[in-house]
Chains A and B, each alone.
Chain A
C-alpha cells in the first residue's frame, strides 16, 4: 500500500527519514531501508539537509525504491533555480518517484559550504504551486506544455511552534492552496502547543484538505539533546522535556528518548485531524520499532 493509499484509507500513516551519505555509494540507504521497510509507509530522503552537500535526494530516492521502500523525495529551494527544480520534478516522476516534499531549506550559512550562493529563486509556496501547475495544467512556468505531465503527490512542511504563532496555521493554508496534499511538521516535543495549532488548522478546514503528519524525534544522547535545543533552527525543546532526558544516566538517554517518543506518538494519534507521524530519526533508524511498539502503532507490513 502506498503512502497516498494509506492516507486515503484513513489508516495511521508512518513516515521516517533517511539522510543520503556523503559519498558516491548507496549502501547506507540500503541498510537503513532494511531496518525501516517493515515499519513505515514511506521514507523521506533529505536534500542536502542542514546545507551540507550529500548524495542527491533523487538518487537516494531511487536507492530506497530499489531496496523496497517507497521514497518521499525532499526538494529545497536553496540550491536550484526554477529551471532546475522543474527539471528535477520531471526526472523524478519519469523514474517513478511519486512523493515530493517541498521546503524552503536551511540557509547555506548553517552548512559545510557557508560561502555558497543562496538561490531561493522560488519560495516553498511558489514551488508547490509550480509543481501542481506542472501536474494539473501540464505546463511549465514558461507556459510551455509538458508531454506527458508529471504525476506527483505533493507534501509541505510546517513549524507549528515558530513565531508568529498567530500566522502558522494561515501559512499552512497558503501551502494547501498552492498544492500541498500532505504536511509533515517540525519536531513535536510540546504536545499541548501542537494541539493548539491543530485546533486552528481544523478551524480553517485544513485537516480535510491535507493529511497532517506530526514530526516526532527520538533523542539518543545528551549531546544530541543540547544540539537540538541550541543549534537546530526552529526546534523548541521545553524545559520539562529537557529535564526529563537529563534526569536519567547518560547511558540511558537513548532508551528514555525512545520512551518519550513513543508516548508522544501515542498522544498525537489521539488528536483529531492527525493522519500519522513522521519520525525524524535519520541515523537512528533502529529506534523506530521501539517507538512504534511502545506507542501501540504498528504498520502492518502486508498493508491490511
Chain B
C-alpha cells in the first residue's frame, strides 16, 4: 500500500507561492469538469495521477495518500512524519526542532508551524483532521479534491458541521445505527 516509508521532507515550493497556487487550483466548475473527464478516461486518469505523483513528490515528498492535507498544513506534508500525524507534532520533537526518529531532519510540524505563521494561517493548524481512508492510497488527491470528496477530511471544511464527529461524512456503504 504505502510505497515509501514516511520520512520528513522539506518542501521545495515557497510558502507564498504555494498559497497562490492554492487559489488557482481551488475547485470550480471548469476544474470539476476537467476532473470528471480525466476520471472517465482509462488513459488520462493514470497519466494525470502519474504527473501529480511526480510533481508532488518533487515539491513536497508526497507519498500519495490520496487525501491531501497540504492546504491546511503550511504546505508541509504531514504524511512525511514517521508517525503520520495529521493533527500536529508529537511530544518527542528535539529542542532544536529535529524529528525524534530522524534527528538529522526537521520535524514537519515545526516547519508547518513556521510557514503557517509567516502567512497568517495558524488557524488552519487548529482544525481537527479525521482518520484517513487507507483505501485511497495511490489515488489522485487533486481529482478527489475537485470532486469534493475531500471536504470531510477536517473540520471547518465546506458544509462540515462537525456533527458526525470523527466519522467521515461521505463514508460509503454504512449508515448510522446499523446493527
- Identify the A interface with B (CB < 8 A): 77-78, 82, 103-107, 109, 118, 120-126, 129-130, 132-133, 137, 139, 141-145, 157-159, 161-164, 166-167, 170-171, 173-174, 177-178, 186, 233-234, 236
Contact = CB atoms under 8 A, between A and B. Distances in A.
Interface string B93-108: 1111100110000010
B105 to A, nearest CB: 13
B153 to A, nearest CB: 12
B131 A121 contact: yes
B91 A178 contact: no
Contacts of B176: 139, 143, 145
Interface in B71-106: 82-97, 100-101
Interface in B117-137: 117, 122, 125-126, 128-131, 134
Nearest to B101: A107
A272 B146 CA distance: 48
A186 B85 contact: no
B125 A170 contact: yes
Contacts of B92: 106-107, 159, 162, 233-234
B167 A143 contact: yes
B19 interface: no
B88 A174 contact: yes
A104 to B, nearest CB: 5
Contacts, number: 138
Query: Contact residue range for chain B?
Result: 35 or more
A137 B113 CA distance: 33
B177 interface: yes
Contact of B87 (A126, A130, A166): A126
A118 B121 CA distance: 31
Contacts of A106: 92
A107 B82 contact: yes
A220 B30 CA distance: 67
Contacts of A77: 83
B26 to A, nearest CB: 25
B38 to A, nearest CB: 30
B179 interface: yes
B174 interface: yes
Nearest to A160: B91
Contacts of A82: 131
B165 interface: yes
B178 interface: yes
Contact of A144 (B94, B125, B134, B179): B179
**Among B85, B90, B93, B100, which residue has the most Cβ atoms of chain A within 10 A?**
B90
